[in-house]
Copies of this chain bind each other. A is one copy, B any other.
Amino acid sequence: MKLYGEDNPAPNPRRVRIFLAEKGGAVEHVRVPMRARGHKAADFLKKNSLGQLPVLELDDGSFLSESVSICRYLEETLPGPALFGATARERAEVDMWIRRLELQLMSPIGQIWRHTHPLTAALLTQYVEFGESNRPRVEQIYRWFDGELAGKTFVAGEAYSMADIIGLTTADFGTFIGVPIPGDCANVLAWRERVSSRPSAAA
């Protein structure tokens, strides 16, 4: 297998690297330089017609994209701890939290990036007023998340899971673009400390 990705701060390739670090698995990495638009080059579009990273090349020569789908495949094919839950109920809970964090938190952070950040202004038409409207939304969701984390060690319960990986990569990307965790969200900040102190967070 071969993993096409990009260095930090790109959040989606990092998800797979953290996942692999938690599994204790190794996959050959190929860097695709996003600033040089390597992910939009004709040759790369044959691997993922959407021109997005990461992409996993399987040993049969086929390609798989979408960070979470790649991790699901690795969950089933690599040894190591269960990161998508160990029972049907746990798997549903982890999946729910992956979706909540992606749809409620990563989505508005992505809109702030897409519609207000100077790095994307050169490439795309921005609707700045709309982009800015996502800032209070992100704060609101962090406060909701803070309440949901009360009494929990990890996002989906007592076991570290893919939901923590989604949360950490989202929070770190938010911080990178100037949308940090609000200072009064004590549970979120403590959780972030907890997941950031794991060796996998260096990925």
Contact (Cβ within 8 A) A49 B91 = no
Q: Pick the interface stretch among A27-35, A65-73, A173-181.
A: A65-73
* Range class of the A interface residue count: 20 to 34
Residue from B68, B91, B125, B129 in contact with A99 in the complex, judged by beta carbons closer than 8 Å: B68
Oligomer: number of copies: 2
Contact (Cβ within 8 A) B104 A92 = no
Contact (Cβ within 8 A) B49 A99 = no
Instruction: Please tell me if A133 contacts chain B, counting CB pairs below 8 Å.
Output: yes
User: In the complex, how many angstroms separate the beta carbon of A160 from the nearest chain B beta carbon?
Assistant: 19
Residues of chain B within 8 A of A130, CB atoms compared: 115, 127, 129-130
Report A's interface with B, CB cutoff 8 A: 49-50, 58, 64-66, 68-70, 72-73, 76-77, 88-89, 91-93, 95-96, 99-100, 104, 107, 115, 125, 127, 129-130, 133, 144, 147-148
